[in-house]
Amino acid sequence: MSRVETEVLIIGGGIGGAAIARELSRYTADATLVEKGADVGQGITKYSSTIMCQGANVLEFRSEYHNSRLVWAGMPLMEPLCRELDVPFKRIGSLELVENQAGMRHPEKMMRRFKDWHGKYLPSDIEPLQFIDRDTLRAWEPNVDKKYIGAVYDPNIAVNDPVRLTIALVDNAKKNGINVLLETEVLDIKAGTDGFEVWTNNGSIACRYIINAAGEYVGKIAQMVDADDFAMYPVKSYQAVLDKKVGGLINRMVLATGSGMVSPTIHGNLFFGISPGSQRLGKAHDHSTDKKLADTALRHAQELVPAVSAADIINSFVGFIVFRNFEIGWHECTVGVSRWVPRFINASIGFPGICAAPGVAKEMIDILTRQGLRLAENPRFDPYEKAMPDFSDLSDEEKKELIARDPRYGHVVCRCETVTEGEIVEAIRRGARTLDGVKFRCRPGMGRCQGGFCGPRVTRILARELGISEEEVTKKGGESRNLLYKGKELLEAHQ
Ligand SMILES: Cc1cc2nc3c(=O)[nH]c(=O)nc-3n(C[C@H](O)[C@H](O)[C@H](O)COP(=O)(O)OP(=O)(O)OC[C@H]3O[C@@H](n4cnc5c(N)ncnc54)[C@H](O)[C@@H]3O)c2cc1C
C-alpha cells in the first residue's frame, strides 16, 4: 500500500475533474487526480448528449444561477479548447420546430431574450437566431415531420466528443505535471486542522485541499467529512444511438417544446433522447433502461422525424442528467467551498456540465487561491495535444502513406467503423488498458455490431500489446473480464 502526499487532491476523472486538473497544470501546482475507474470519462460524462451550448440552448437558463454563469463563461472557451487539444468540435446548428401560430410563443420569447442577452451574458460574436418558414424547413430538412410550419434556426449549436475531450484534458494535465492515479477509489476521508487524510483501495493520500468532482457520487464523498451542505437529486435520462446508415436523415439538431430531440453526433450517427421536462426521477446509480422509457423516447423522436425507427437503434442507455437541487432550483450546480469544511471544495457541475467545465476550471483557480493556495505560472506549460490518426477520415493518399509507414494500418479490425490494427495499437500506446479504453479512443465496437465481431480481435491485440493473457483483458477494469474461459475450458465446463 502506497502513501502519497499532494497539496491538491482532485477526486474524479470526469469532464469536471479533468478540466480542473488541466487548468491547474498551467501553474506549478502539486496536484493529484484520482479516478476509481480503469479510465477517465466513464462516469456521467460518457452519457452526455454531446451538445455544446453555444447559442439558443442557454436562453432557458435563469440569469441568477451560478450554473448559468459557468456555462456562459465556458461558451467562448470550448471551441479553442477543442482546437488546442485536437478534439473534434463541429457547429451543426439547431432548429426549434413550430407546429402552429400558438407554438410561436416560446420561440418568440427566446428570440427576444437572445437580443437582450446578446453581448451581456452571451458572447458578442455569436450568430443571430432567425425564423425560417415552412418551405425553407422542407428544403433544409426534408425528413422532419411535414406538420411543422417553420422553425427558429440557431447556427451556433455545436457537438463534440466529451469522452475524447476528457481523455485529452487528462493527458495534457499529466504532460504538464499533474499526477494521475487510475483504479484508485476514495473510501474514506478524515479532516484534520491543516489538511485531510484520504484512504483509497491503493493506500492513503495526505493533502491540504480536496476538490470533490465525483459526479454521481459527489454527495457520498462529501458525507465522508460532513461537507454535504447541499441536496441533490438524480434525474434519469434515456438516450438511443442510431446506425450511421441513417445518419443523413437530418443535418441539424431538431427539437420542439415539450418533446424530445434528435441530433447528429460528431461521428456521423444520429441520437435521440427525452428532454428534461419529460424525464422522471430515478434511483441513483440505477442505469437500467426499460421498455416504457424507450417507447416514450422513440415516440417523441418520431414526432420530430417520422423515419426514426426502432430497427436502426444500435445502442441505448440511461444516464443521470443532473443533480437537480430542489432547494435552489432546476439547472443549478454546487461548485464552491463547503460551508463547514475549509479547503474542501465541491464541484458537482450539474447540467449542461460539459459546457460548464471550462468555466468551472477557471473559477476553481480563484476558489483555491482565495482558500490560500499559492500558485505560480508553470513555465513549461504546453497546451497542445495531437489526436491519433483516424484512418476512416483520411484521404486515399494519406491512407497509403500511413500503411507504408506501418502496415498495421492496412489491417481493418472493426468493419462497422473501419478501425485498423494500427489505430488500436496506438490507442493502447496512449494509455488504453481495456476494451472500453480502446473503444472510446478509436471506436471499435461503436458500430452496428457493437463489438460482436471485432471484440475478440481487439481482445487479442490488447493481450498481445499489454503482455497479458486474453482472459485477463477486461471490458472496463475490475472484474469485468470478457473471456471467462478459453474455448477448450468452456467445452470441458459444459461436459
Ligand atoms: C443523458 C445526459 C445527457 C447530457 N447531455 C449534455 C449535453 O448535451 N451537454 C452538456 O454540456 N452536458 C450534458 N450532460 C451533463 C454532463 O454530462 C455532466 O454534467 C458531466 O458529464 C458531469 O461530469 P462530472 O465530471 O461532474 O461527473 P462524471 O463524469 O460522473 O465524473 C465523476 C468521476 O468520479 C469518479 N468517482 C466517483 N466516485 C469516486 C471515488 N470514490 N473515488 C474516485 N473516483 C470516483 C467516477 O468514476 C467518475 O469518473 C448530460 C448528462 C446526461 C446524463
In a domain, 495, yes or no: no
Number of domains in the chain: 3
Beta bridge partner(s), residue 151: 97, 132
The CB-based long-range contact list for 397-404 (8 Å cut-off, 24+ gap) reads: none
How is 201-252 classified by DSSP, letter by letter? TTEEEEESEEEE--GGGHHHHHHTTT---S---EEEEEEEEE-GGGTTS-SS
Residue 181 in contact with ligand 1 by CB distance below 6 A: no
User: Could you tell me the distance, in angstroms and rounded to a whole number, from the CA of residue 65 to the centre of ligand 1?
Assistant: 20
pLDDT at 279: 46
> Which triple of cell numbers denotes residue 172?
495534457
Do 286 and 139 belong to one domain? yes
How is 369-383 classified by DSSP, letter by letter? HHTT----B-TT---
Q: Which domain holds residue 369?
A: 1-88+158-232+324-387
Choice from 32, 35, 47, 48 to test ligand 1 binding pocket (greatest atom count within 8 A of CB): 48
User: Could you tell me the distance, in angstroms and rounded to a whole number, from the CA of residue 411 to the centre of ligand 1?
Assistant: 35
**77 closest CA partner among 348, 361, 336, 376:** 361
Do 462 and 414 belong to one domain? yes
Residue 216 in contact with ligand 1 by CB distance below 6 A: yes
pLDDT at 490: 53
Do 176 and 162 belong to one domain? yes
pLDDT in tens, 416-473: 999 999 999 999 999 999 999 999 999 999 999 999 999 999 999 999 999 999 999 9
Backbone angles phi, psi at 368, to 5 degrees: -65, -40
| pLDDT surpassing 90 at residue 168 | yes
> Which triple of cell numbers denotes residue 121?
451574458
Residue 234 in contact with ligand 1 by CB distance below 6 A: no
User: Could you tell me the distance, in angstroms and rounded to a whole number, from the CA of residue 116 to the centre of ligand 1?
Assistant: 32
User: Could you tell me the distance, in angstroms and rounded to a whole number, from the CA of residue 226 to the centre of ligand 1?
Assistant: 22
> Which triple of cell numbers denotes residue 173?
494535465
User: Could you tell me the distance, in angstroms and rounded to a whole number, from the CA of residue 95 to the centre of ligand 1?
Assistant: 27
Answer with the one of 289, 320, 351 that is the final residue of a domain.
320
Residue 354 in contact with ligand 1 by CB distance below 6 A: yes
Do 83 and 111 belong to one domain? no
pLDDT at 283: 62
CATH of the domain at 111: 3.30.9.10
Do 276 and 340 belong to one domain? no
In a domain, 207, yes or no: yes
Do 164 and 78 belong to one domain? yes
In a domain, 195, yes or no: yes
Residue 260 in contact with ligand 1 by CB distance below 6 A: no
In a domain, 380, yes or no: yes
In angstroms, the CA 34 to CA 42 distance is: 13
In a domain, 491, yes or no: no
Do 461 and 435 belong to one domain? yes
Mean pLDDT of 389-394: 94
pLDDT in tens, 241-251: 999 999 999 99
Do 309 and 284 belong to one domain? yes
214 CA: nearest ligand 1 atom: 34
Q: What is the 3-state secondary structure (H, E, C) of 438-479?
A: HHHHHCCCCCCCCCCCCHHHHHHHHHHHHCCCHHHCECCCCC
SS3 4: strand
pLDDT at 380: 96
pLDDT in tens, 17-62: 999 999 999 999 899 999 999 999 999 999 999 999 888 888 878 8
Do 413 and 440 belong to one domain? yes
Residue 25 in contact with ligand 1 by CB distance below 6 A: no
pLDDT at 243: 96
| Highest mean predicted confidence (pLDDT) among 115-124, 199-208, 293-302, 330-339 | 199-208
In a domain, 492, yes or no: no
CATH of the domain at 406: 1.10.10
Predicted TM-score of the model (pTM): 0.95
pLDDT at 5: 97
pLDDT at 278: 43
pLDDT at 107: 84
Work out the pLDDT band at 347, boundaries 50, 70, 90: very high
In a domain, 214, yes or no: yes
The CB-based long-range contact list for 257-262 (8 Å cut-off, 24+ gap) reads: 257/96, 257/103, 257/106, 259/300, 259/303, 259/304, 260/297, 260/300, 260/301, 260/303, 260/304, 261/49, 261/301, 261/304, 262/301, 262/304, 262/305, 262/308
| pLDDT surpassing 60 at residue 491 | no
pLDDT in tens, 129-161: 999 999 999 999 999 999 999 999 999 999 999
| pLDDT surpassing 90 at residue 80 | yes
Answer with the one of 357, 372, 387 that is the final residue of a domain.
387
Do 185 and 314 belong to one domain? no
Backbone angles phi, psi at 475, to 5 degrees: -70, -45
CATH of the domain at 339: 3.50.50.60
Q: In this structure, which residue's CA is closest to atom 35 in ligand 1? A: 12
In a domain, 216, yes or no: yes
Residue 82 in contact with ligand 1 by CB distance below 6 A: no
349 CA: nearest ligand 1 atom: 26
pLDDT in tens, 274-295: 755 444 555 667 788 888 888 9
Do 376 and 429 belong to one domain? no
pLDDT at 324: 57
> Which triple of cell numbers denotes residue 148?
411543422
Q: Are strands 31-34 and 8-11 parallel, antiparallel or unpaired?
A: parallel
Mean pLDDT of 354-362: 96
> Which of 182-191, 427-436, 486-495 shows the lowest per-residue confidence on average (mean pLDDT)?
486-495
SS3 191: strand
> Which of 172-181, 183-192, 234-243, 301-310 shows the lowest per-residue confidence on average (mean pLDDT)?
234-243
Answer with the one of 270, 291, 320 that is the final residue of a domain.
320
Residue 476 in contact with ligand 1 by CB distance below 6 A: no
In angstroms, the CA 110 to CA 113 distance is: 5
Do 119 and 15 belong to one domain? no
**Percentage of the chain with pLDDT > 90?**
74
C-alpha torsion 230→233→235→236, nearest 10: 130
pLDDT at 255: 93
User: Could you tell me the distance, in angstroms and rounded to a whole number, from the CA of residue 346 to the centre of ligand 1?
Assistant: 14
